[in-house]
Structure 1
Amino acid sequence: MRRIQNLTARKCETIKEPGYYADGQNLYLQVSKALSKSWLFIYKFQGRKHEVGLGGYPDISLAVARDGAARWRKVLIAGDNPIEIKREQEYKKHCSRIDNPTFAQCANKFIESHQAGWKNPKHAQQWKNTLDHYVLPIIGNLQVKQIDTGLVMRVLEPIWLEKNETASRLRGRIENILDWASVHKYRQGDNPARWRGHLDKLLSSPNKIQRIKHFKALPYHEMNGLLLALRSNSSISAMALEFLILTAARTGEVIGSQWNEIDFNQKIWIIPAERMKVKKEHRVPIASRTLEILSNVKQLKVNDYIFPGRTRNGGLSNAAMDKLLQVTLNYDATVHGFRSTFRDWASEITNFPHEMCEMALAHSIKNQAEAAYRRGDMIEKRRVMMEAWLTYIETKPCKVK
């Protein structure tokens, strides 16, 4: 009579030689050359030998492996081939995952399909970070068709008052992902993350919670002192910041600027549409001092970026100019705020037209009729304005009683 249950828990733990160790009734413990262990149900069907894996040891204990072998023996006794039954089960499970994806799977697919159209490459990472931190631990493993208003509220309620700006962005991201899932037929019905007519009845309005935060700007009459401080600092960050101030450009436009965008003959910086906030090419007249900065920084050229960063092929980091301004020079202001400084100067002590100032800042035209008829960009008139801006900040202000 063949002996069954040859193995014991102690023996399974202490086996150190590679091979197959029979427990009886088709159950074997396989020990590899690397001494990893796994359970196998080994049998013959229609004259051919087959193996069905039951899982690894010690995650699958001897007792659990015996139960698994017993289930497959019943299949064998019924006249079916266990390996074919297992493949069929795995296929159905795979189809179920495809037809009923989790929220996390839909989120990944949504980001993959949309990130090419996002302006900032870091946008995709921001999506992933906020979803990983706030959303996926709560609803990530649930099938997307199961997501309802209660689950969305479980994500948003804990942070709605304390971190409303983040929570508002999250709500929009959840809504977009669920809309994507609905279009792909993974879920039906209304979107439980919809704001108007739905979550606005359950959560306080962001306008009542958030305080408007403006970028802190340096008053224009203090610009001369900053300019002197920048010119006494020979770093790439200082040259980049002065370049930003003189062109009234955004941080991303400056740190992403490359040498092929500069037309030295025409003295124009041409920023391509894909790097602009409004997705439209923007021409910037280069003032005399701006041209000097370009000449100086060109002597340090190491790659295609006008203002290179620490990496061999990269540009200046996003925080470099703010760090210089706030830490090194100890100014209580932000880099983005210099656009406001320029705008205040143009409005309060010059007669330059409003539309010219808006063009200098590359603002979109809200009036659709005006936008349809505007063709030029006043480049030469703006050149005069930018020279006036340079002259103003290079001039030491008079003391006022």
Structure 2
Amino acid sequence: MAILTDTKAKAIKPDDKPLPHGGVMGLRLIPSKIKGRGRWELRFVSPLTGKRRDAGLGSYPEIGIASAKEKAEAMRKLVAEGIDPLDAKAREKAAPATPTFQQAAEILHKDLAPSWSNPKHVNDWINSMHIYVFKHIGAMPVTEITPKHIADVLRPFWLKKAETASRVKQRMSAVMGWAWAHGFIAANPVDVVRYLLPKQGEAARVEHFPAMPWRDVPAFVASNLSSRQSVSANALMFLMLTAARSGEIRGAAWAEIDLDSAIWTIPAERMKMGIAHRIPLSDSAMEILRAQQGQHPTLVFPSPRAEKPLSDSVLTMFLRKKNAHSNTGERTATAHGFRSSFRDWASVNQYPGDWAERALAHEIENKSEAAYNRDDLLEHRAVMMQAWADFLNGKTSKPNNVVPLRAA
């Protein structure tokens, strides 16, 4: 079949039959009510339904013969791949457009403003974005924003205006949290930005709870906890495995633990933040619980002598006896410091900060972000805590590129 020429196309009349393109099967020029004008149409069979469909490709002469062929060939390629081009186009049209950072911020601000009782805070929130953020990344789609972009925004005033910088960082985190909650991004880039910025002020350098460097923890476990015999050793290992606080471990009760589901639920009255906290238990944590069964009807880690909770000093004394070094090089590592070891490990291994913060039962200081993150992410944390347990026990794990889910 001869290829349609411009001479023949320009001569098309309203009462003519459609002119086949000749170069692409099913592509033809349908005459309009005006001589020399028409519309392109591609007739194809849907690979999904087996029914004939007609796709419009624009008007002639605005869409020339070569351009119509190019569009038709692209559609034919989709059909050959088992895709209905009209369905694909409809889905693309229905999908929400990726917002820029400024658009996302303005939507979030509008959503949250009615819940803020202080009008000054409403204005300060969005004004800080205009002053410090929008001129740098406001026009960028949220999908393209990386931790480096966030750090570059904050760096000029991170040390000079520490309080302002912290507030702006929290607000940026809320915006990216909104983008995450709405499916535009897979993780919040603000979660790891602290690794790209210097610490703010002298207070940030104070080590309240000396922590063992995370890379040194497996060697400590292998040397001192691999053949656990005492309640103290079991309690300390259980503390490491769960990233729980010392008081939560020492007061752990059998009634809080679901052995069938491998979940420990600490009631609100025993939590620092006053909110019940669920902890997924790794295989190693379950082994410790099995070893502790039968020692006390109520307590998981009872004091061997008095059959009451272990004292606050027991774990500290154990660490001193084992010469557990901390990252200061001078002070003994503390039981609480292993929470910091876990947090550093999670960050270096690129687990989302939200997973780690929930594992530590930390309160989300940014109330705006908290409003969009109510799920405790138990299934995700179960995978992360098993990987942490494997690391503590000296087992090699696959790189954290794709994290599978484990049923609760």
**Fold equivalence (TM over 0.5):** no
- Give me the TM-score of the superposition, normalised by structure 2: 0.44
Q: Which one has a bigger Cα radius of gyration?
A: 1
- Give me the TM-score of the superposition, normalised by structure 1: 0.45
